[in-house]
Amino acid sequence: MTQYQQEEGILQEDSGGEFERTPVPQSKLKGWKSFIGMYAGEHAAGTEFMIGPLFLTAGVSAFDLIIGLLIGNLLAVLSWRFLTAEIAVKNRLTLYFQLEKICGKKLVTGYNLANGILFCFLAGSMITVSATAVGIPFNMPMPKLDDTLPNGMTWIIIVIIIGAVISLIAARGYDTVTKAANWMSPIIVLAFVACGIVALGQLGVDSFSDFWNIWGDGGEPFPGQTKFTFWHVVIWSWFANGAMHIGMSDLSVFRFAKEAKAGWATAAGMYVGHYMAWIAAALLYAVYLKSPEAQAFLSTNSAPPVAPGPMAYNAIGVLGIIAVVLAGWTTANPTIYRAGLAFQAILPKLSTAKVTILAGTIATIAGLFPAFAMKLLGFVALYGFILAPFGAIIVFEHFFHKKAGIIKNYAEVANLSFNKSVFWAWAISFGVFYFISIQFDVFLSFVTLPAWILCGVLFLILSKYSQKK
């Protein structure tokens, strides 16, 4: 055994095999093809069954949806490729360890807690999605668009079982999560294509103009929903995964990449999942809206429920049930894995498996409450707005620390446990733009990028000032 191999063995043993506090060694790096299945699986997944229909409830037009998604998803891919992947292959550290070097242990603990909990809530919404499919054979009442609490014991039992299985898979580590995604994603993608084709037939679509007219010029949103315009679609789809790309969460994923060009693999997720799958899921909901049940809701000025399981089952039968269950898994698995890494940074004495089980337990509890899934458009906008500015700290330091004349990884160098420059940069940018959003009723995704830029600029300015002392 060479000295290099011995060092790698020690690194892997020290880090529990997941390299939470060490750079990923050369022998563990993966080619760009390894990331295609993971991103296609994660993003052609449970969220898509919810988000596609929610666009319809927001009254989007055909142009706004089709062209807006084309542009917004491209911006997301570029963000992953030239920001996240670029930095990840240079440092090969998790987001949490990288932030600890910049922010200090105490400050990053608060971030990790918020990040882990928000990821758990997102994973919980995917457990909700899978539960709508598993509940079909049991004639389980489906949650409504405005439901908050569990609607019965059957729902509770199904959610707990699904959550337990997903948590156990995620607890087995990155390789297991990747293998699960690579196995499931082709089935899910084929199911989305089949659902879209069947739905087009059910809607009587014989030409592109018929397809276009499903959305037409748009309309008024359903009760309690926000009206989406072209710019809502572009900006929301760009920042739907803002915490992962400009927020740098996927440093934890791309640290395993051999080259930064692995970032292009995210296009598989964006254009198979966030484009084709969103539109296919919207078509399923368009079919449901023509049903007597949905018309009864609309006649009383109520929003019809968005239940992915029954919609997919109506289109392609048992395969639809299987697809929705797997789709929920492929999103929840890597999300719980990420949450586990966040909790690992707070509880370093616990193994990765144990903190991942903890994350899965929180996600399962969240999955009992349908509100997280039914309000997914607003929730995703909120969690991106909260977490993305911390990514600006990493990005601005990485690219501009020399020009700004600041010390890189200052908390580590100066032995700080709480870097005030980071805290005030985030707090000011968050406070200013959240106030603007609330006071002037500005959609939260519209202020995510300005908050991100302001946070990065303030970090450089405040760091320059504080490091002179």
Which of the two residues, 411 and 223, has the higher pLDDT score? 411
- Compute CA 120 distance to the chain's CA centroid, rounded to the nearest angstrom: 11
Structural domain including 199 reads 28-377
Average pLDDT of the residues in 143-158? 84
Which of the two residues, 76 and 306, has the higher pLDDT score? 76
In percent, how much of the chain has pLDDT > 70? Answer: 93
Residue 75 has a pLDDT of: 97
What is this structure's pTM? Answer: 0.84
Report yes or no on 14 lying in a domain.
no
Residue 280 has a pLDDT of: 93
Q: Are the beta carbons of 187 and 326 closer than 8 angstroms?
A: yes
Q: Domain containing 149 — which CATH number? A: 1.10.4160.10
> Using 50, 70 and 90 to split pLDDT, how confident is the model at 456?
very high
pLDDT averaged over every residue in the chain: 86
Report yes or no on 21 lying in a domain.
no
Report yes or no on 391 lying in a domain.
no
Q: Please give the Cα distance from 112 to 110 (Å, whole number).
A: 5
Total domains, the chain: 1
pLDDT tops 90 at residue 408: yes
Average pLDDT of the residues in 456-462? 97
Window from 37-41, 125-129, 263-267 with minimum mean pLDDT: 37-41
Backbone φ and ψ of 196, nearest 5°: -65, -45
Report yes or no on 448 lying in a domain.
no
Q: Please give the Cα distance from 162 to 361 (Å, whole number).
A: 11
Q: Please give the Cα distance from 284 to 304 (Å, whole number).
A: 13
Q: If 0-12 CB within 10 Å is exposed, 13-18 middle and 19+ buried, where does residue 150 land?
A: middle
Report yes or no on 113 lying in a domain.
yes
Window from 26-40, 232-246, 373-387, 414-428 with minimum mean pLDDT: 26-40
Residue 205 has a pLDDT of: 92
Window from 5-14, 82-91, 187-196, 417-426 with minimum mean pLDDT: 5-14
pLDDT tops 50 at residue 8: no
Q: If 0-12 CB within 10 Å is exposed, 13-18 middle and 19+ buried, where does residue 85 land?
A: buried
